[in-house]
Amino acid sequence: MTKYIIRRLLGIIPTLLIIITLSFFIVRVAPGGPFDTEKKLPEVVMRNIEAKYHLDEPLVVQYGRYMFDVLRGDLGPSFRYKDHDVNFYIFQSLPNSMILGVIAISISIIFGISSGMLAAVKQNTWVDYLSMALAVVGISVPLFVIAPVLQYVFAMQLGWLPTSGWFTNGDGWQTILLPAVTLAFADFATIARLTRSSMLDTLRSDYIRTAKAKGMRSSSIIFKHAMKGSMLPIVSYLGPAFAGIITGSVVVEQVFRIPGLGKFFVQSSFNRDYTLIVGVVIVYSVILVIMNFIVDVVYSLLDPRITYK
Amino acid sequence: MNKKTPKSYENMLEVKNLKTYFLTDAGIVKAVDGISFSLRQGETLGIVGESGCGKSVTNLSIMRLIPSPPGKIVDGQIIFEGTDILALPENELRNIRGNKISMVFQDPMTSLNPFLRISTQMIETIRIHQDISKKEALAKSIEMLKLVGIPAAEERIFNYPHQFSGGMRQRVMIAMALSCEAKILIADEPTTALDVTIQAQILELIQKLSKKLNTSVILITHDLGVVAGMCENVCVMYAGKIVEKAKTDDLYKQPAHPYTFGLIQSVPRLDKAKDGKLFSIEGQPPNVIDLPPCCPFHPRCHKVMDICRNQYPPTVDLGNSHEVSCWLYAEHKELADA
């Protein structure tokens, strides 16, 4: 197992190198550049800027220079924001997105698994229909609809929570709640549906019949015998979902005024801000690769039939 | 029907007019349609029949393990130690399951929980029904594993099911089923999923242990050879009904029902197969959805008469507890009435 973990961790390195290389070249293939404006800049100015950011060098040299910086942990200067470099923007906003994401995914795990299990155990009753109806709402209603509705009800009508803001800006910890619930909705829905179907599958299996024939209570059958097996699909869903949610959501950040990482995914692309684009891609892929690795380890902890050598 | 039951325990288990139906979109599947049989203490009863004849459903009904919906026990009584299992509330039913009546299932590969150690699964079974410590339960489980012939039981008990072979897993199932000294062991095709060489070992084990622990056994099988070796009495099922019931010797010597006759003829025999052709009963078992009130075997029967196509035959007692449901043996009076 230890050997496997070390091998997997080493395997992450080439994966990341490939991702960085691909995104480095792909962003440069896209038409337009970071300094294109409505009004064309004078030739001399343009050449000066390009020289400053080494854009006048051959692509391979630029690539080598960039890789050298990245390996030392420097993601380079932003081509658009002049005050700070890419490292600063990412590591200032990432913790905010992470806090929000962790809270959101915790909410969706707790409510998703419990309502999915209830739905499976009480299949074809009102409990089942209610939680699955809620899940369909969660899947089909977009965030930019859920967010204002929650703001309207809980902030404007009831006055329980602030409409927007963020605690690092001095707006109080309550600002986390509404965006977290909003963000939790989609994953809650998917987890609830996954849990329900996988629980139903497990409850139909032979070993559950054996447990019943042994005289076990239904509650202990569900928690002792059915839980482990039915959690496998949820675990594999959670890996990428977690990576996605803690790297921020542009919609939720905009609606609730949160200084998160999500907006950089969108803005950097519009701006052709090459280094910032590749920077957020690197952060996202590091998290994703680590999550997938954790999923595999958790899998082997849950299922004794899976062993890694 | 008379709901009060006589207080005689000479029969461990009495199944009376059991009807288990499955309500499907295609219609009502009468998987078990009015069967009755009884089981004495220490007796081994065989239930034979083709796939889908209702033999497994019968035994799942005894444990009330029919998946519902769509399954439903619509009528009948199952009297165990003077009480009707079908009328018991859930908590008293749990006291019978695994404790007084236990089951060994067909496929040992899927019947044990792959996520839990054997020790967990065995200790849990014992501790549901007996108020003893985990340590004592573990000691008892190891003892049971030794009894069923698991080598190095003290170590193997901490393994997971996938670390055992099929035959070994079935041994574990048997050990688990008998760990609370059940009075009745229901073995639902316990050897079907196993290697031929292992089959005999498992059957011998069931036989040996049931004698030792004085457990009554219901053995469900489609293998008449197995029945001959193990059972004192046999019920032959066809399309949800028992068509013949007899002592095993009588059944082999004088099979009364044409279906039983066909079944016995179909067992391949080394001394007769020289000309190469194996006997088989022509045709397929009937679809048990909306079965008309005729003898369900008539399309495949070589002794079919007109009346077989119109009416289900009465059960005739041939003496020496040999019963058969076939018009061939009906009294003239019944024939005339029909």
In a domain, A122, yes or no: yes
Q: What is the pLDDT of residue B2?
A: 42
Q: Which residues in A lie closer than 8 A to residue B112 (C-beta atoms)?
A: 207, 210
Residue B333 binned pLDDT confidence (cut-offs 50, 70, 90) = low
3 state SS for chain A: CHHHHHHHHHHHHHHHHHHHHHHHHHHHHCCCCCCCCCCCCCHHHHHHHHHHCCCCCCHHHHHHHHHHHHHCCCCCECCCCCCCEHHHHHHHHHHHHHHHHHHHHHHHHHHHHHHHHHHHHCCCCHHHHHHHHHHHHHHHCCHHHHHHHHHHHHHHHCCCCCCCCCHHHCCCHHHHHHHHHHHHHHHHHHHHHHHHHHHHHHHCCHHHHHHHHCCCCHHHHHHHHHHHHHHHHHHHHHHHHHHHHHCCCHHHHHHHCCCCCHHHHHHHHHCCCHHHHHHHHHHHHHHHHHHHHHHHHHHHHHCCCCCCC
Question: What does the pLDDT look like over A163-180, one tens digit per residue?
Answer: 888 887 777 788 888 899
CA distance A215 to chain B (A): 4
In a domain, A197, yes or no: yes
Q: What is the pLDDT of residue B4?
A: 41
- Closest to B128 (Cβ–Cβ): which among A206, A214, A305? A214
Q: What is the pLDDT of residue B273?
A: 57
Q: What is the mean pLDDT of chain B?
A: 84
Which of residues B139 and B264 earns the better pLDDT score? B139
Q: What is the pLDDT of residue A195?
A: 94
Q: Which residues in B lie closer than 8 A to residue A211 (C-beta atoms)?
A: 113
Q: Which residues of chain A have pLDDT under 50?
A: none
Residue B322 binned pLDDT confidence (cut-offs 50, 70, 90) = confident
Q: What is the ipTM of this complex?
A: 0.84
Question: Taking a contact as any Cβ pair under 8 Å apart, which residues of chain B between 71 and 130 contact chain A?
Answer: 94-99, 102-103, 105, 107, 110-117, 124-125, 128-129
**Interval B318-336 mean pLDDT:** 77
In a domain, A300, yes or no: no
Which of residues B334 and B210 earns the better pLDDT score? B210
Q: What is the pLDDT of residue B275?
A: 67
- How far apart are the C-alpha atoms of B281 and B258, rounded to whole Å? 10
Given a cut of 70, is residue B7 above it in pLDDT? no
Q: Which domain holds residue A250?
A: 90-260
Chain A residue with Cα closest to B178: A214
- Closest to B112 (Cβ–Cβ): which among A204, A207, A216? A207
Q: Which of A210, A216, A227, A301 to mutate to test the interface with B (most CBs of B within 10 A)?
A: A210
Q: What is the pLDDT of residue A188?
A: 92
Strand partners for B20: B32, B73
Structural domains in chain A (count): 1
Residue B338 binned pLDDT confidence (cut-offs 50, 70, 90) = low
CA distance A210 to chain B (A): 6
Contact A207 B99 (CB under 8 A): no
Q: Which of B92, B113, B141, B173 to mutate to test the interface with A (most CBs of A within 10 A)?
A: B113
Contact B111 A229 (CB under 8 A): no
CA distances from B158 to A226, A298, B117, B119 (A): 20, 21, 6, 6
In a domain, A201, yes or no: yes
Q: What is the pLDDT of residue B130?
A: 87
Q: What is the CA radius of gyration of chain B?
A: 21
Q: Which residues in A lie closer than 8 A to residue B117 (C-beta atoms)?
A: 304
Chain A residue with Cα closest to B103: A213
Q: Tell whether A123 lies on the interface with B, counting CB pairs under 8 A.
A: no
Nearest to B58 by CA among B202, B225, B237, B197: B237
Contact A304 B124 (CB under 8 A): no
Q: What is the pLDDT of residue B3?
A: 41
Q: Tell whether B240 lies on the interface with A, counting CB pairs under 8 A.
A: no
Q: Tell whether A199 lies on the interface with B, counting CB pairs under 8 A.
A: no
**Interval B165-185 mean pLDDT:** 88
Question: What does the pLDDT look like over A268-281, one tens digit per residue?
Answer: 888 888 888 888 89
In a domain, A62, yes or no: no
In a domain, A251, yes or no: yes
Contact B113 A217 (CB under 8 A): no
Given a cut of 90, is residue B81 above it in pLDDT? no
Given a cut of 80, is residue B116 above it in pLDDT? yes
Look up residue B207 and give its two tokens.
């036989």
Q: Tell whether A302 lies on the interface with B, counting CB pairs under 8 A.
A: yes
- Closest to A215 (Cβ–Cβ): which among B105, B113, B129? B129
In a domain, A180, yes or no: yes
CA distance A125 to chain B (A): 13
Q: Which residues in A lie closer than 8 A to residue B63 (C-beta atoms)?
A: 212-213
Q: What is the pLDDT of residue B332?
A: 61
Which of residues B87 and B6 earns the better pLDDT score? B87
The domain that contains A132 carries what CATH number?
1.10.3720.10
Contact B65 A212 (CB under 8 A): yes
* 3-state DSSP assignment of residue B301: coil
In a domain, A221, yes or no: yes
Question: What does the pLDDT look like over A16-46, one tens digit per residue?
Answer: 999 999 999 988 888 877 777 777 778 888 8
Contact A304 B129 (CB under 8 A): no
Q: What is the pLDDT of residue B1?
A: 39
Q: What is the pLDDT of residue B337?
A: 63
